[in-house]
Amino acid sequence: MPQQVSVVGLGNMGSKLAATLLEAGLEVTVWNRSPEKAAELKSAGARSAASAPEAMAVAPLTIACLARYENLYDALADVDREALSGSTLVNLSWGAPEDAQAMDAWVRERGGTYIDGGIPVYPSGIGRSDTELVFSGPADLWARHVEVLKILGGASRLVSEDVGAGNALCLAVPGGFYHTAYGAFFEMAAYVSRYGITPSDLRSQVSSALRLLDESVEESINAIEKGEYDGNQASIWIQWDSIVMARDAVQRQNQKGTLVDALASLFERAVESGHSDERAAALFPMLKDGG
């Protein structure tokens, strides 16, 4: 008999999660606040529940993907104490570590078990073998549901038993890291456009920079693991000097240069606190210690 799973929330992401589970042959029950979004899934074989608590009651595993955590509390407002006994909730809504910790306590108070998760891809990435969704929660619970959860992303993994860790990782890398780099592309493309260079002209340089970034991050991870911060290729001082030059050039063109200015401040703090001769990896212990 096929495994049963419920999906709560059928926005762009929740619909793709439900469709992927259906295509894999699971028995899927869905619920969405606006019921019309269930129509296509119903014609593909999904059942629909009249409420989120009903969806949770019919399957041992429920995957929720609503805009925010508070939407899930709203959807489950009528759930009594002990009503979630025997149910595991996996919440893939985007949020902070503290949201995951509070939701975990809320579910356990009602007799259920909880895994938190984060999705670092667009809906088009769901169901691919190389997609890594990140989960956090009890390892035994992960082991019980891993087969179903890996249908959503074949490279998915449990990053920690600390239920807030998955959200921290998602806020940090697809959140802060990716968006900062993405935003910097637009800031710099706007700057060079004043010299007749189009965004399309940047393709090859951006590709090289991304490869270099990959190598630099790998080298920095090794340096951090060994605790070795001696400058080898470029010192923090020389990098700070070139970043300041970039910031000043952008600002001379009456552009704010918000991101490059923030980067200059970061490296300046490292210079002022005595890290001039070290390599950029030395920023990690400085920042970790509150610098």
92's enclosing H/E stretch is: none
Could you tell me which of 31, 45, 49 has the C-alpha nearest to residue 2?
A: 45
In terms of residues, how long is the chain?
Answer: 291
For position 30 contacting ligand NAP by CB under 6 A, the verdict is no
Report d(CA 7, CA 289) in Å as an integer.
41
**Nearest Cα residue to 85 out of 58, 52, 48, 112:** 112
Q: Are the C-beta atoms of residues 49 and 26 closer than 8 Å to each other?
A: no
Residues 10-29 that bind ligand NAP (CB under 6 A): 10-14
CB of 124 to ligand NAP, least distance (A): 8
Verify binding: residue 91, ligand NAP, rule CB under 6 A: no
Residues 36 to 65 in contact with ligand NAP, rule: CB under 6 A: 37, 65
Coil, helix or strand at residue 290: coil
Instruction: Give the span between the Cα atoms of 274 and 271, in whole angstroms.
Output: 5
Q: Would you say the C-alpha torsion 145, 148, 150, 153 has a positive or negative sign? A: negative
Q: How far is the CB of 180 from ligand NAP (least distance, A)?
A: 17
**Residue 172: what residue type?**
A
The residue within the footprint of ligand NAP, chosen from 7, 64, 119, 169 (CB under 6 A), is 119
Give min distance, CB of 129 to ligand NAP, in A. Answer: 18
Site string for ligand NAP, 185-224 (x = CB under 6 A): ----------------------------------------
Question: Which of 20, 91, 93, 131 contacts ligand NAP by CB under 6 A?
Answer: 93
Task: Give 37: exposed, middle or buried? Use CB within 10 Å, 0-12, 13-18, 19+.
Answer: middle
Residue closer to ligand NAP (CB basis): 64 or 236: 64
Q: Can you name the residues that pair with 30 across neighbouring β-strands?
A: 7, 48
Q: Which of residues 123-152 bind ligand NAP (CB under 6 A)?
A: 123
Q: Return the range that interacts with ligand NAP (CB under 6 A); candidates 3-11, 109-117, 128-136, 275-283.
A: 3-11
The least CB distance from residue 93 to ligand NAP, in Å, is 4
Residues in the site for ligand NAP, rule: CB under 6 A? 9-14, 32-34, 37, 65-67, 71, 74-75, 93-94, 119, 122-123
